[in-house]
Amino acid sequence: MADRPVLDVRNLKVAVGGVEILKGLDLTIPFGEVHAIMGPNGSGKSTLAHVLTGRSDYEVSGEAWLDGDPLLVMDVDQRARAGLMQAFQYPVQVPGVGLESFVMEAGEAMGMAASDMREKVSAAAKAVGAGPFLDRAINDGLSGGEKKRSEIFQIVALQPKVAILDEIDSGLDIDAVRDVADAVQALRGPDIGIVLITHYSRILDHVTPDRVHVMMDGRVVDSGGPELADELEIGRAHV
């Protein structure tokens, strides 16, 4: 079915401690598409990612569906099993837990056979260049670019339906941005929708999104094709 939404968000309102951060956000992502979300710091991009993934301590109203199933009523582990994963803006280090064994266990918890997982892990490691740190503890002692590649590696190996990538390009030099962009391209496919949150448009030089949404003060204020990112960048250059 063409254009079937993998993620559908309607009138999402989110508050923390009585302060409203998301103020009625709508977002629809069809299977097979990459949607970039751009916006200034503080516009609510990470809050959107955290609320969809299921972080607690937010006051949430509105609706969201993951491949047709109501998302906001699910616990965080149910959301992961249902096929939603997030790459974090600030990846956490998990000393003592090896990256490969973590992904293997996560895959098995999601019902994949160990032999299938082994294949997926080695294919994903090759696709995103994660081989050198597969045996190391998660993100422990990795460079900024390696941490971002590690995040994407987990997602490529586990093949969720929706991947939310929160500023995977921030804090990286040009070469690392290109590597991370290549990893995002490896993730792209007909069975996944990708939410690519970015503060800068430079990753979009390497990953052409299907749609671009501009967030401002807790709402999507503009949506368009990839050219919208260029227009924003031009606008910023003149400020």
Which residues contact Mg ion (rule: CB under 5 A)?
45-46
Regarding 45 and contact with ligand ADP (CB under 6 A), the answer is yes
- Please identify, using beta-carbon distances, which residue of 112 and 203 lies nearer to ligand ADP: 203
Q: Which does 41 bind (CB under 5 to 8 A by kind): Mg ion, ligand ADP, none?
A: ligand ADP
Stretch that binds ligand ADP, among 2-10, 35-43, 115-123, 151-159 (CB under 6 A): 35-43
| Minimum distance from residue 101 beta carbon to ligand ADP (Å) | 31
- Please identify, using beta-carbon distances, which residue of 47 and 53 lies nearer to ligand ADP: 47
| 8 Å CB contact between 119 and 156 | no
Q: Which of 165, 178, 90 is nearest to 129 (CA)?
A: 178
Stretch that binds ligand ADP, among 14-22, 102-110, 112-120, 148-156 (CB under 6 A): 14-22
End-to-end Cα spacing for the chain: 43
Q: What is the 3-state secondary structure (H, E, C) of 103-149?
A: HHHHHHHCCCCHHHHHHHHHHHHHHHCCHHHCCCEECCCCCHHHHHH
Interface with ligand ADP (CB under 6 A), residue from 6, 27, 34, 44 = 44
The side-by-side arrangement of strands in the sheet containing 219-224 is 84-87, 162-166, 193-198, 34-38, 211-216, 219-224
Interface with ligand ADP (CB under 6 A), residue from 8, 46, 169, 209 = 46
Q: Which does 54 bind (CB under 5 to 8 A by kind): ligand ADP, Mg ion, none?
A: none
Regarding 47 and contact with ligand ADP (CB under 6 A), the answer is yes
Q: What is the 3-state secondary structure (H, E, C) of 148-180?
A: HHHHHHHHHHHCCCEEEEECCCCCCCHHHHHHH
- Please identify, using beta-carbon distances, which residue of 42 and 225 lies nearer to ligand ADP: 42
| Minimum distance from residue 226 beta carbon to ligand ADP (Å) | 21
Residues 6+ apart with CB under 8 A from 160: 80, 83, 84, 85, 192
| Contact set with ligand ADP (CB under 6 A) | 16-17, 21, 39, 41-47
